[in-house]
Amino acid sequence: MGIVKDILYKISNKRLLPVFKKQSIFPYYHIIKDNPVTHIENLYSFKNKEQFLSDINILSSNYKSLDPKNLLERSIEENSFLLSFDDGLQEVYTEIYPILKKKNIKAIFFINPSFVDNKEGLYKHYISIIISSLKSQNFDKSTLDKISNIFSFSYHSVEEFKQKFTSIKFTERGKINDVLNLLNINIEDYLKKHKPYITKAQIQEMIDDGFYFGGHTMLHPPLVQLSYEEQKAEIINSIDWLKNHFNIDYSFFSFPFSDRSISKKLIEALLEYDDNIRIFGNSGIKKDMDARIIQRFSLENPTKLTEKRIIEENLYKYFNKAIGRYHIKRN
């Protein structure tokens, strides 16, 4: 649907935003930062603080800030917005938290417990670190050959190499250590020096300040690559971890990568785990199989205008309604 959305973005006029204000929106991000970040820079681009502040102003002047507490107590009011941030990066604490606190805007932060305190990192982040290292060696062909051999893929260009290396299977992530060794990258040192992820002490401080946290699985796997039992454990363990460490009595969860192909059986198991759970996807503005599932869209792309992005998502809602894809069907 990339082409349709591109067209909708192009035809969006930012003066039309008030037309769509009734529709509540749930924008999400991962990181806000003024400088490049090695473990992210080869995965996606992100906004700087000035751009984020501008987003906050656009959202606050057009929508009412929704407190996650109200989300748990009643249904969602019209014309609300609620921000959330995935992956529990350290910038959540160093950059985003101070801004939201100053603006008095509550938000939900979704974290992977395995990475909290920086003993271990997300395999995709390791891949980005490796690609940056390869870049510094001008993508030396013999090194690329060795790496493609480790993962048994072929490639014809650096771009194809990056694309295939970035999409290796979750079960192959152990081999990333071989690549780190090959390139003499000491990942423990990297984690210690850069502290990519939030710490328990920082989470506690933010909770004490009225912010909300949710699970995002333990290890951030592409869930479709796991069995049903593994999926359920990855999700529930991440919510339980928060409850055990921070005395949290609510259940929030967001799907890593995508909620597409998530089964009805898995959703039902999560609703059974806690019948007041709120589950977050990233399928845009859509209605899911249950009102406790909230669909979000990303405002992360720094090259797009925020008002136009919001209008694009609203127009895409009507497009999906027209082609019968507004209601998400799960098997």
Query: Is 113 an interacting residue with respect to Zn ion (CB under 5 A)?
Result: no
Binding test (CB under 5 A) with Zn ion, winner from 26, 37, 68, 87: 87
Would you list the DSSP string of 48-102? -HHHHHHHHHHHHHHSEEPPHHHHHHSPPPTTEE-EEEES-BTHIIIIIHHHHHH
Q: How far is the CB of 32 from Zn ion (least distance, A)?
A: 15
Structural tokens at position 170:
């979750």
CA distance 80 to 92: 22
How crowded is residue 15: how many other Cβ atoms within 10 Å of its Cβ?
9
Amino acid at 114: S
Residue 179 CB contacts under 8 Å (≥ 6 apart), including other chains: 130, 147, 150
Burial status of residue 50 (CB atoms within 10 A of its CB: 0-12, 13-18, 19 or more): exposed
Residue closest to Zn ion, measured at CB: 86
Closest separation in Å from C-beta 282 to Zn ion: 9
Least distance to Zn ion from the beta carbon of 220, Å? 6
Q: How far is the CB of 255 from Zn ion (least distance, A)?
A: 8
Query: In the complex, what is the shortest distance from the CB of residue 200 to Zn ion, in angstroms, rounded to a whole number?
Result: 19
Q: Which residue has tokens 């998502």? A: 313
Site string for Zn ion, 126-165 (x = CB under 5 A): ----------------------------------------
Residue 3: CB minimum distance to Zn ion, A: 26
Binding segment toward Zn ion, per CB under 5 A, in 87-95, 132-140, 225-233, 268-276: 87-95
Cα(145)–Cα(158) distance, integer angstroms: 11
Stretch of residues binding Zn ion (CB under 5 A), selected from 2-10, 70-78, 81-89, 136-144: 81-89
Cβ atoms 124, 220 nearer than 8 A: yes
- Provide the minimum distance between the beta carbon of 314 and Zn ion in the complex, in angstroms, as a whole number: 24
Q: How far is CA 242 from CA 205, 238, 292, in A?
A: 14, 7, 20
Q: Which of 20, 47, 86, 203 binds Zn ion (CB under 5 A)?
A: 86
Please work out the total of residues on this chain that contact Zn ion, with binding judged by CB under 5 A: 3
Q: Which is nearer to Zn ion, 86 or 95 (CB)?
A: 86
Q: Which two tokens stand for residue 200?
A: 């328990």
Residue 256 sits in the site that holds Zn ion (CB under 5 A) = yes
Bridge partners of residue 280, in order along the sequence: 254, 294
- Site for Zn ion contains 27 (CB under 5 A): no
CB of 257 to Zn ion, least distance (A): 7
Q: Which stretch binds Zn ion (CB under 5 A): 80-88, 136-144, 175-183, 264-272?
A: 80-88
Q: Which is nearer to Zn ion, 39 or 308 (CB)?
A: 39
Which residues are near Zn ion by CB under 5 A? Answer: 86-87, 256
